[in-house]
Amino acid sequence: MYKALVCCRAGMGSSMLLKIKADQVISENNFPIVTEHGNLDSLAGFTGDLIITMDDLSDELKNKVPYALGIRNILDKKEMKAKMEEFLAARES
């Protein structure tokens, strides 16, 4: 099981909506990912495998976290599914 932090800069509305949609995609596809919600400060104590955030923030995090998954459209479940599949494929190879 992989552990993901869903976050944004403030940890308020956009990341909570992103977490809800990400959890739906995970559940619908039986992905071995469990999520928790936070803000950028949550990165300090996070020991998981994956950061799920908005696309612009993922670029900033690329060399600072194990894997940053950036989402352009928070409501686009197809985009989330494709990027989660990429993450899982990279982990399995």
Mean local confidence (pLDDT), 68-86: 95
User: Is the confidence at residue 12, as pLDDT, over 80?
Assistant: no
Q: From 82, 67, 17, 11, select the one nearest 41 (Cα to Cα).
A: 11
User: What are 16-43's pLDDT values in tens digits?
Assistant: 999 999 999 999 999 999 999 998 888 8
* pLDDT, average across residues 73-87: 96
Name all domains of the chain by residue range, CATH numbers in brackets.
Answer: 2-92 (3.40.50.2300)
33-39, strands of its sheet edge to edge = 33-39, 2-8, 50-54, 68-71
Grade residue 6 by pLDDT with cuts at 50, 70 and 90. very high
Q: Whole-model pTM?
A: 0.91
Count how many Cα atoms sit within 13 Å of the Cα of residue 20 in the half-sphere of its side chain.
7
